[in-house]
Chain A
Amino acid sequence: MTRVGVGTLLVVLGTWALGWWAVPVVGALMGAIWPDRRPGIAAAAAGMLGWVALLVWGSTIGPVGNLADTVGGVMALPGAAVLLITLLFPAVLAGAAGALSAALRGGKGA
Chain B
Amino acid sequence: MRVLKIVGPIAVLAVVLHLGSRPTGPLPALGAFLDPVHGIWAVARTAELPPTARAVIPGLESEVEVIYDERRVPHIFAPTRADLSRALGYVIARDRLFQLELQARATAGTLTELVGERVLEVDRQSRRLGLAWAAKRDWERVQNDPELAEPLIAYAEGINAFIDAMGPEDVPFEFHLLGRKPMRWKPEHTLYLLKRMGWTLAYSSVELRKAWLASKAGRAAADGLIPRNSPIQEPIQPHRGPRDLSVTIPPPGAPDADAAIQMETLQAFFGPMDLARDGDGRALGSNNWAVSASRSTTGGAILAGDPHLSMTLPSIWYEAHLVVPGEMDVYGVTFAGTPAIVIGFNRDVAWTFTNTGSDVMDYYRERVDDPEAPTRYRLDGEWRPLESRIEEFRGPTGDLLAVDTIRHTHRGPMTEVEGDYVSLRWTVLEDQGEIGPLLRLNTAGSVEEWLDVMSTWHAPTQNGLVAGRDGRIAIRSAGRYPVRPEQATGDWFFDGSTSESDWKGWLPIDRFPQALDPAQGYLASANQQPIDPDDDDIFIGADWPAPWRALTINALLRAKERHSPEDLERYQTFPGSARADRLVPAFLQAVAVLSDRGDATPEMTAGAELLATWDRRYTTDNEVAILFESAVEALEERLWDELHDDDDPRRLTPGTDIVAALIEDPRNAWWDVRETETVETRDEVLAASLAEALVRERDRLGPEGSDAWHWSEHRQANILHLMQLRSLSRTEIPVQGGPGLLNPSSGDGRDGPSWRMVVSLGDEVSARGTYPGGQSGNPVSPGYSDRIEAWAEGALQPLRYPRSPEELEADGQVRSRLWLSAGGGR
Interface set of A (CB-CB < 8 Å, partner B): 15-16, 19-21, 24, 40, 51, 54-55, 57-59, 61-64, 66-67, 69-75, 85-86, 89, 92-93, 95-97, 99-100, 103-104, 106, 110
B38: chain A residues at CB < 8 Å are 19-20
Once A58-B41, A64-B41, A89-B30 are accepted as A-B contacts, the answer to whether A51 and B36 lie under 8 Å apart by CB is yes
Chain B residues within an 8 Å CB radius of A99: 5, 8-9
Indicate if the CB atoms of B32 and A19 lie closer than 8 Å. Answer: yes
B17 close to A24 (CB less than 8 A):
yes
Are B44 and A63 in touch, CB under 8 angstroms? yes
Q: Which of B461-496 contact A (CB under 8 A)?
A: none
Cα of A73 to Cα of B728 in the assembled complex, Å: 8
A/B interface sample: 7 pairs, CB < 8 A: A19-B35, A19-B38, A54-B36, A62-B46, A93-B16, A99-B5, A104-B6
For residue B39, which residues in chain A have a CB less than 8 angstroms away from its CB? 20
The residues of A that contact B2 with a CB separation of less than 8 Å are 103, 106
Most chain A Cβ neighbours within 10 Å, of B41, B177, B728: B41
User: A24 CA to B37 CA in the complex, in Å?
Assistant: 16
- Chain B residue with the shortest CB-CB distance to A39: B9
Least CB separation from A110: chain B residue: B5
A97 and B47 within 8 A (CB): no
- Nearest-Cβ distance from residue B305 to partner chain A, whole angstroms: 33
Task: List the A side residues contacting B725 at CB < 8 Å.
Answer: 73-74
Chain A proximity of B397: nearest CB distance (Å): 21
As a 0/1 sequence over residues 133 to 152 of chain B, the CB contacts with chain A under 8 angstroms (1 = contact) are: 00000000000000000000
Contact status of A20 and B9, CB under 8 A, knowing A15-B37, A54-B37, A96-B16: no
Beyond contacts A15-B35, A64-B41: 15 other A-B pairs, Cβ-Cβ < 8 A, are A15-B36, A19-B38, A20-B39, A57-B36, A62-B44, A67-B43, A67-B47, A73-B727, A89-B19, A93-B17, A93-B20, A96-B12, A96-B13, A104-B6, A110-B5
- Contact string against A for B residues 762-797, beta-carbon threshold 8 Å, 1 for contact and 0 otherwise: 000000000000000001100000000000000000
B23-61, CB < 8 A from A: 27, 30-32, 34-48
A74 neighbours in B (Cβ, 8 Å): 177, 725, 727-728
| Residues in B whose Cβ lies below 8 Å from that of A92 | 12, 16
Kindly state whether residue B560 has any CB partner on chain A within 8 Å: no
- The answer to the question of B10 belonging to the interface, with a C-beta cut-off of 8 Å to chain A, is yes
Interface string of B172-189 (1 = CB under 8 A from A): 010001000000000000
Q: Which A residues lie within 8 Å of B12 (CB)? A: 92, 95-96
- Our pick among B9, B46, B47 for the contact of A100 (Cβ within 8 Å) is B9
The answer on a CB contact under 8 Å between A66 and B780 is yes
Q: How far is the CA of A103 from the CA of B13 in the complex (A)?
A: 14
- In angstroms, Cα B19 to Cα A57, docked, is 25
Complex Cα gap A5–B721 (Å) = 42
Q: Is B36 touching A58 in the complex (CB atoms < 8 A)? A: yes
CB proximity of B172 to chain A, nearest CB, Å: 13
Contact (Cβ within 8 A) A89 B20: yes
The yes or no answer to B726 lying at the interface (CB within 8 A) is yes
**B23 to nearest A CB, angstroms?**
14
* Cβ–Cβ < 8 Å partners of A55 in chain B: 36, 41
Residues of B within 8 A of A15 (CB): 35-37
B47 to chain A: which residues have CB within 8 Å?
62-63, 66-67
Closest 3 CB pairs of A and B: A73-B727, A62-B44, A54-B36
Name the A residues within 8 Å of B727 (CB-CB): 69-70, 72-74
Name which of B5, B19, B725 has the most chain A CB atoms within 10 A of its CB. Answer: B5
Contacts of B16 in A (CB 8 A): 89, 92-93, 96
Shortest beta-carbon distance from B603 to chain A in Å: 44
Task: Tell which of B13, B27, B41, B43 touches A97, judged by Cβ atoms closer than 8 Å.
Answer: B13
User: A71 contacts B31, CB within 8 Å?
Assistant: no
Q: Chain A contacts of B19 at CB under 8 A?
A: 89
